[in-house]
Chains A and B, each alone.
Chain A
């Protein structure tokens, strides 16, 4: 018995040692990190030229955001990256980072030099990482032809540098969605295009159908409360969040006051129900889908209301007045490259591969249908309700890249809520928002 046990232990030890040796073998398909680093710094020269792949032995880490479920996204990207690995010889490790954890995870990772080589970024968190030198300016890696193929290239410049490369978006404009059956029933035959027309439509609906919500926009604690209300109306009023130089927030301006006063008018007249303070985004969408809301603001409505039992229309065409430009918020999420990556060329190659036509076509088909970040992408969204979005990209405004943006957004949400509850006037709300925003730049 003892002999058998001893034999078994020796056998296990031999297998373990063999496994360790195999891992240290440079020809192994999964090289250990230490070897990878060495290979990255010193390209292999003793391999036959025809077998040398561009990034043989390089290990790259990429962090992406979840769109369906972590495991679905993870499996999609892992499968897609097989071709990149085969072609370049690099090994790519994909990790899906939850939206809520993103800022914290990135911060701690950059602090400990363990951040991924390629990272998913949103404007809400980008500034600090750019400002602290964590990201690489990628402008020089793009040729004129490649830039020509970009649809949203200009939206992600920061002080003449390009740390962020547009990756997803272009189809999530926060536009107004109208239940046309209700609008027609109340004598509104076309969607409002100005604030006055919106007020007029709301008045008719409010009088004719007091049993339903006239207008219901998300106003609870998440960012949509800001993006679908204050920010949209601010852009329509001709305002912006920061000045042209990008050196100060401009949230206590006549344009911002117009926007906040308009929201308050909607509330005071009973058109915009204060129930929106206690209903989250999905509850509002459900209520709209059930025909209990006449007007709301949503993103990419074809996802939610494909089979709605009523006629509906989605429009980004709302302006303060006939003479002013219609506008809405549009998110453009981006990819960035870690400034401390050991092989920037490989990281850029990976970034370009991730947003290549074939990978993104598969992504749009299997995971989440997005807009045309590149002109060469096929248009996957053929829903007629989205025509307005793709026909008028000039109406789409993105969030600026500015310090402590998330804190300023939080302040806008809080003060907008206090205003809607009647505790602050629009002027007082803007004063408090600007005070918080000034701290961010100081």
Chain B
């Protein structure tokens, strides 16, 4: 009896500790998500009370050319961005950890982190100038020094999304690199020393020691990178406004257009729910894959 009441007391104490966070989380995260699900089933326009519309918004979304293009672009963006960003960050972090554990390494890490601190809209605007279509723009001048014709980077559907992937990678790599670097620093040095005695090369050490010991870190940043990639908005907004045509539109951009430019909040919520479900499914698959490989 005494034990039971002690457990109850402990439980109450525990719950009272998490209560403030739970309240905040419920108000600012859980309630908006539930409301979004509700609005997605209505014709809410921001002015009038929402009227029930069932799955009408979802049917419309799947037959909407802009949403189809956004879905495709978001997938392509994620499928290219995540491996590129993670592998480049991993290589940079490994290189700095192996060769430059000195002032120069610190400087490089600092410099690579600067873009992370900058506003995406600002970066987008600057890169839009650098990637302008005229021959005097920075990247076209660069091409011309190698005798290559100028390219209409942001005005062609073949290159516009690629440019955004590049700029996004330039911005985010520093962040992932710093996290991976911290992970590498946590790997015991004994492992490298022992393997060196056994005759392992640097590449073998990287594959057999560094990567396996970074599993949890890599899983975390792959998850974060995937989620962020699905949220592509600010660069597409500031560099191309989703164009040319539908070449760089994304799901979040469609949410913005439908919600805040045409006040179709019910429809925008339906697109947001589609995005939510997609990210959730991919995250579950990633988790299962990690468990499997464990």
- B:51-87 near A, CB below 8 Å: 65-66
- B:119-163 near A, CB below 8 Å: 128-129, 131-134, 137, 152-157, 160
B257 touches A220 (CB 8 A): no
With beta carbons under 8 angstroms apart, the residue of B153, B242, B263 that contacts A278 is: B153
B13 at the interface (CB under 8 A from A): no
Give the nearest-CB partner of B158 in chain A: A421
B257 touches A410 (CB 8 A): yes
A107 at the interface (CB under 8 A from B): yes
With beta carbons under 8 angstroms apart, the residue of A220, A274, A279, A432 that contacts B243 is: A220
B241 at the interface (CB under 8 A from A): yes
B32 at the interface (CB under 8 A from A): no
Once the chains are docked, how many angstroms separate the CA of A275 from the CA of B133? 5
A278 touches B262 (CB 8 A): no
Once the chains are docked, how many angstroms separate the CA of A406 from the CA of B156? 24
Known: A220-B155, A277-B133, A278-B244. 16 other contacts (CB 8 A): A220-B154, A220-B240, A220-B241, A221-B242, A277-B154, A277-B155, A279-B155, A280-B132, A283-B134, A404-B263, A407-B257, A410-B261, A413-B243, A417-B245, A418-B244, A432-B65
Given A103-B260, A404-B262, A407-B262; A279-B133 close (CB under 8 Å): yes
A421 touches B157 (CB 8 A): yes
Given A279-B132, A283-B129; A221-B46 close (CB under 8 Å): no
With beta carbons under 8 angstroms apart, the residue of B133, B134, B245, B263 that contacts A128 is: B263
| Cβ proximity bits B242-260 to A, threshold 8 Å, 1 near / 0 not | 1111100000000001001
Most chain-B Cβ atoms within 10 A of its Cβ — which of A107, A110, A222, A278?
Answer: A278
- A:266-295 near B, CB below 8 Å: 274-280, 283, 287, 292
- A:237-287 near B, CB below 8 Å: 274-280, 283, 287
Counted as pairs of residues, one from A and one from B, with CB atoms less than 8 Å apart, the total is 96
Give the nearest-CB partner of B260 in chain A: A104
A132 at the interface (CB under 8 A from B): yes
Q: What residues on A are CB-neighbors of B47 within 8 Å? A: 107, 110-111, 128, 132
A279 touches B244 (CB 8 A): no
24 A–B contacts from the bound complex (CB under 8 Å): A107-B263, A110-B47, A111-B46, A111-B47, A128-B263, A132-B47, A219-B155, A220-B243, A221-B241, A221-B243, A274-B152, A277-B133, A277-B243, A278-B153, A278-B154, A278-B160, A280-B132, A404-B262, A407-B261, A414-B245, A414-B246, A415-B245, A418-B245, A432-B65
Once the chains are docked, how many angstroms separate the CA of A407 from the CA of B242? 13
Give the nearest-CB partner of B257 in chain A: A410
Once the chains are docked, how many angstroms separate the CA of A415 from the CA of B160? 17
Give the nearest-CB partner of B238 in chain A: A221
Q: What residues on A are CB-neighbors of B48 within 8 Å? A: 132
Most chain-A Cβ atoms within 10 A of its Cβ — which of B153, B154, B240, B243?
Answer: B243
| Cβ proximity bits B18-56 to A, threshold 8 Å, 1 near / 0 not | 000000000000000000000000000011100000000
A423 at the interface (CB under 8 A from B): yes
Q: What residues on B are CB-neighbors of A128 within 8 Å? A: 47, 263
Q: What residues on A are CB-neighbors of B134 within 8 Å? A: 275, 279, 283, 287, 292
Give the nearest-CB partner of A222 in chain B: B241
Q: What residues on B are CB-neighbors of A221 within 8 Å? A: 240-243
- B:155-177 near A, CB below 8 Å: 155-157, 160
Q: What residues on B are CB-neighbors of A219 within 8 Å? A: 155
Once the chains are docked, how many angstroms separate the CA of A432 from the CA of B129? 31
B155 touches A275 (CB 8 A): yes
Q: What residues on A are CB-neighbors of B133 within 8 Å? A: 275-279
Task: For residue A230, give the distance in angstroms from its CB to the closest CB of chain B.
Answer: 14
- A:130-186 near B, CB below 8 Å: 132
Q: What residues on A are CB-neighbors of B156 within 8 Å? A: 274, 277-278, 421
Q: What residues on A are CB-neighbors of B152 within 8 Å? A: 274-275, 277-278
A278 touches B131 (CB 8 A): yes
Give the nearest-CB partner of A423 in chain B: B245
Task: For residue B144, give the distance in angstroms from its CB to the closest CB of chain A.
Answer: 14
| Cβ proximity bits A54-79 to B, threshold 8 Å, 1 near / 0 not | 00000000000000000000000000
Given A111-B46, A111-B47, A406-B262; A278-B155 close (CB under 8 Å): yes
Task: For residue A419, give the distance in angstroms from its CB to the closest CB of chain B.
Answer: 9
Q: What residues on B are CB-neighbors of A406 within 8 Å? A: 261-262
Once the chains are docked, how many angstroms separate the CA of A423 from the CA of B156? 12
- A:395-431 near B, CB below 8 Å: 404, 406-407, 410, 413-415, 417-418, 420-421, 423
Task: For residue A187, give the distance in angstroms from its CB to the closest CB of chain B.
Answer: 26
- B:263-283 near A, CB below 8 Å: 263
Most chain-B Cβ atoms within 10 A of its Cβ — which of A110, A128, A275, A423?
Answer: A275
With beta carbons under 8 angstroms apart, the residue of A103, A132, A276 that contacts B155 is: A276
Q: What residues on B are CB-neighbors of A278 within 8 Å? A: 131-133, 152-156, 160, 244
Q: What residues on A are CB-neighbors of B153 within 8 Å? A: 278
Once the chains are docked, how many angstroms separate the CA of A219 from the CA of B152? 13
| Cβ proximity bits A331-359 to B, threshold 8 Å, 1 near / 0 not | 00000000000000000000000000000
Task: For residue A434, give the distance in angstroms from its CB to the closest CB of chain B.
Answer: 14
Q: What residues on B are CB-neighbors of A414 within 8 Å? A: 66, 242-243, 245-246
Once the chains are docked, how many angstroms separate the CA of A249 from the CA of B72? 30
Once the chains are docked, how many angstroms separate the CA of A107 from the CA of B152? 37
Task: For residue A349, give the distance in angstroms from its CB to the closest CB of chain B.
Answer: 28
Task: For residue A211, give the distance in angstroms from its CB to the closest CB of chain B.
Answer: 10
| Cβ proximity bits B92-103 to A, threshold 8 Å, 1 near / 0 not | 000000000000
Give the nearest-CB partner of B160 in chain A: A278
Give the nearest-CB partner of A411 in chain B: B66
Given A104-B260, A107-B263, A128-B47; A274-B245 close (CB under 8 Å): no
Once the chains are docked, how many angstroms separate the CA of A418 from the CA of B152? 15
Once the chains are docked, how many angstroms separate the CA of A222 from the CA of B134? 19
Once the chains are docked, how many angstroms separate the CA of A276 from the CA of B47? 38
B244 touches A421 (CB 8 A): yes
Once the chains are docked, how many angstroms separate the CA of A103 from the CA of B260? 7
Q: What residues on A are CB-neighbors of B262 within 8 Å? A: 404, 406-407, 440
Q: What residues on B are CB-neighbors of A404 within 8 Å? A: 262-263
Task: For residue B237, give the distance in angstroms from its CB to the closest CB of chain A.
Answer: 8
Q: What residues on B are CB-neighbors of A222 within 8 Å? A: 241
What are the 5 tightest A-B residue pairs by CB atom distance, in nearest-first order? A221-B241, A278-B155, A277-B155, A278-B133, A275-B133
